[in-house]
Amino acid sequence: MKGLTSKLRIGEKIALGFGVVGLIFLGVIWHYHASLHSVLADYRRLNDVYGARQSFAFEIEQHLGGMRTAEERFLGTRDLSFVSAVEQEAAALTTAAKGLAQVDAESGESARKIEMLAGDFLERFKAIVEGWRVKGLDEDAGLQGAFRDRAHELEARAGNYNVDRPYLLLLQIRRGEKDLGLRREARYQGKVEGLVVELAAAVASSSLPAALKQELGAEIETYGATFGTYAGEVLAQQGNPAGKGPFRDAAHRIEDLLEANYVPDLEVKILQLRRREKDYLLRGDDRYVAMVQEIAAGIRAQIAGSRIADSEKAELQSLLEGYQRDFLALVEQDRLIALRTAEMYQAADRITPLAQANLAQANQVMAEMTEQIARTSAASARLNLIIAACATALGILFAYLITTMIVRPVRDMAGLLDRLTYENPTERVPTAAGGRDEINDMAISLNTMADHKATFFNWWRASMQEAISLRDLHQAGNATEQFEAAEELRTATLSKMQQINNLRGKIRRNTKQILEVADRAGQDGSAVRAEEGARLRTAAAGIDTLLDVLEED
């Protein structure tokens, strides 16, 4: 670690420290944004999938409601503009179902069923519309208009056979005629003559054909004229009271004419028929259909039993059969419309549970995913806090290590300088060879200075010892003192020789460094770099110093 850090300058160490701390916090920020991106991705998926399912489910229910509303308005008004509204809502519902099918696989099956049911709904509705076209969108169209036309014609023709009032008056006239013959009282003559006037008025105001009215009017006039003669004879006690005469023949002719154009209660029966028809149209109860058929059968029997002409019977029977056929066809169309309506409602009722089930499932999954995202977000927030705390602690630790690596050598150098001022210390500040650290360079320089001081001090001490030994040798009075002085001189000389050998080794090392730098400079081909030049100058200065020492010796 020390060798690695010695390769860096102080500024590079500080920059490295800040860079590492910055990277740590960038890692924290990256982790925070990764967590945030994960949460956002979960919410995006929640919105894209289950939010879309909710949206399509609401849209399906909305268009289904629009379809049913337009369909109900058509059934209420038979306005064809609502048909296109149903088709538009059905198309929009189908589009929403196709969109739901593309959300995810879970919604695909429900969406296909909804699309199929929407098609069934529209198909049944179109069948209902066609049924109403056949039945008649209003009272003048379709089957309804057809049987109404025949019913109106029957009603109009029934007026031609409504002789109930004239026939009743004729019967009363004949009774008064008999009373006159039996009782011979003048009041019966007045009664019959009054009834004859009423009969003439009733015929004139009836809806009988004009020719028949004219013929009946002539016969009534004949009856009135001949009856007066008969009444005069009866009251004068001269005539035959048996009641025979021209007036009687005229009465028979009138009766024959009335019976030839008389179907009993035809107009009343037709009104009853129309009443039950209206009851069915109003209430849709099948029991009124049976009533219509029963009344029609009675009318058919009355027509068949009447004395009207066969051609007229055939015409009336044909009108009645046509009316009954169209009415029963309308009833059948009502049955088909009711069947298609029930099928249509069944299809619609099956769409709603599918849409609601899809919506409920989407709501449930959204709730579960929201809770899961909340738990994940809380755990991620706690993890982010732990990572931020660890990153802060790691940053502080790394800053402490960088500061320690910078401050500790400075503190060691300060201690060495302090001891170097008053002592000749033997310890040195640890350094790294080839380091680029300024503090390492300062330590090398300080160690060199300490080495130089030690060299000069040892050389000075050895020189002093040599000088003292020479002095003692010259001043020795006997052989023992001379021997001791010679030994000290030899020791001092050996010490200086050892120092010279040490200096010689340092010179070799410095020379080797110079040669290495020179070789690199020769191989580079470019200008010598500043740091290599500094090392050359340091080595050269060391050689000069050593040479100075040797020269002094």
Q: Which long-range contacts (CB under 8 A, 24 or more apart) does 299-303 make?
A: 299/266, 299/269, 299/270, 299/273, 302/263, 302/264, 302/265, 302/266, 302/269, 303/263, 303/266
387: number of Cβ within 10 Å: 16
> DSSP labels for 91-127?
HHHHHHHHHHHTT-HHHHHHHHHHHHHHHHHHHHHHH
Residue 4 burial class via C-beta count within 10 angstroms: exposed 0-12, middle 13-18, buried 19 and up: exposed
547 — pLDDT class (breaks 50, 70, 90): low
The arithmetic mean of pLDDT across residues 544-552, rounded, is 58
Q: Is 80 exceeded by the pLDDT of residue 536?
A: no
**18-76 pLDDT tens trace:** 677 777 767 778 766 776 666 666 666 656 556 677 777 778 888 888 888 888 888 88
Q: What is the pLDDT of residue 524?
A: 61
Q: Using 50, 70 and 90 to split pLDDT, how confident is the model at 436? A: low
- The tens digit of pLDDT for each residue in 91-124 reads 888 888 888 777 776 677 777 888 888 888 888 8
pLDDT winner (highest mean) among 51-55, 189-193, 377-381, 517-521: 189-193
pLDDT band for position 401 (cuts 50, 70, 90) = confident
Rounded Cα distance, 204 and 464, in Å: 183
Mean pLDDT of all residues in 225-240? 76
Region of poorest pLDDT, from 121-125, 281-285, 441-445, 521-525:
521-525
User: What's the pLDDT band for 515 if we cut at 50, 70, 90?
Assistant: low
Angle at 436 between CA 431 and CA 437, to 5 degrees: 65
CA distance readout (Å), 47 to 73, 363, 508: 37, 12, 80
359, 53 in Cβ contact below 8 A? yes
Would you say residue 17 has pLDDT above 70?
no
The pLDDT, as a whole number, for residue 76 is 81
Check pLDDT > 80 for residue 161.
no
pLDDT band at 144 (very low <50, low <70, confident <90, very high): confident
Q: What is the pLDDT of residue 4?
A: 57
Place of tokens 């150098």: 413
Structure tokens at 307: 């004395």
pLDDT value, residue 238:
63
Cα(328)–Cα(290) distance, rounded to whole angstroms? 10
Of the candidates 458, 547, 468, the one whose C-alpha atom is nearest the C-alpha of residue 499 is 458
Q: Percentage of the chain with pLDDT > 90?
A: 0
pTM value surpassing 0.75: no
Of 106-110, 419-423, 531-535, the least confident? 531-535
Among 99-103, 159-163, 331-335, 390-394, which is the least confidently predicted range?
A: 159-163
DSSP state of 161: G
Amino acid 149: pLDDT: 79
For residue 408, pLDDT over 70 is answered with yes
Report in angstroms the alpha-carbon separations of 333 from 72, 74, 133, 341, 447. 18, 16, 10, 12, 120
Task: Tell me how far apart the alpha carbons of residues 491 and 497 are, in angstroms, rounded to a whole number.
Answer: 10
Q: What's the CA gap between 492 and 476, in Å, rounded?
A: 18
Give the tokens for residue 82: 């609502």
Angle between helices 310-422 and 142-158 (to 10 degrees): 150
The predicted pLDDT at position 45 comes to: 66
Q: Are 27 and 354 in contact (CB under 8 A)?
A: no
pLDDT at position 435 is 61
